[in-house]
Structure 1
Amino acid sequence: MARPQASEDTFRAIADPTRRRIIELLSEGPRTAGELASAFTSCQSTVSGHLGILRRAGLVTYTEQASRRIYSLTPGPLAEIADWATRYQGAAPRPPLRE
């Protein structure tokens, strides 16, 4: 059986709570960087940096309309993470290690 693959970059990208929140917002539909930034107290350039990390990890993509970028989710990498996590969902709990 082939093992589901999820890239290390993808896991790094979702490790940050701000980026996870961006993913949550984009799960509701495409948004501009400005719309996403308005959901945070940080400045737009910080949110743009997070969007760049998510884009390089393949989690988001954008289209250009006039002078605006409209961001949306790319479902493939998220499905890979879900597939990876599903493999361990039913794993038997282990007793705590003794020192």
Structure 2
Amino acid sequence: MARAATTTDAFNAVAEPRRREILDLLAQGERPVNDFVHLLGLAQPQVSKHLRVLREVDLVRVREEGRQRVYRLNPAPLKPIYEWLATYEQRWNERFDLMDDVLTDLTDELDTKETSDADDD
């Protein structure tokens, strides 16, 4: 099956690290294009390209403010990604809990051994 174009799918759109950086910045509030250029160290055409992709999948919204375009995050399209990841989060938490148990057991064994060794002296 052919991969969906990045401009039609939020999953593919956020697969690109620079676009995730843009979303992280927008999570802090609205920003004009020049903020992204300065903060990300990218050329304006590159930033505009990434913003266009994010806009086409509705992850960002734009409004005109004088001569500037100001972008803001639209988090709704991220919900399917969040829901998909939530199934893995439960598994990760279960595995981390098991790892905590193993580490606690190892620490207890080490403490017991150190106490036993100190008693032998």
Q: TM-score range by the shorter chain?
A: 0.7 to 0.9
1:1-99 aligned within 5 A: 9-91=9-91
Structure 1 portions without partners, runs of 5+: 1-7, 94-99
What do residues 6-57 of structure 1 show as CA deviations (whole Å, max 9, x unaligned)? xx61011111110000000000000001111111222011000000000011
- CA–CA distance in 2 between the matches of 1:74 and 1:54? 10
- CA–CA distance in 1 between the matches of 2:40 and 2:89? 32
Question: Normalized per residue, which structure has more helix?
Answer: 2
Structure 2 portions without partners, runs of 5+: 1-7, 96-121
Higher-RCO chain (CA-CA 8 Å, sequence separation at least 6): 1
Report the Cα offset of residue 69 of structure 1. 0.7
Amino acid at match of 1:28: Q
What do residues 74-94 of structure 1 show as CA deviations (whole Å, max 9, x unaligned)? 01011221112112322488x
Identity of counterpart residues, as a percentage? 36
State the TM-score, normalized to the length of structure 2. Answer: 0.65
**Number of residue-to-residue matches in the alignment:** 86
- CA–CA distance in 1 between the matches of 2:17 and 2:51? 13
Which is greater in Rg?
Answer: 2
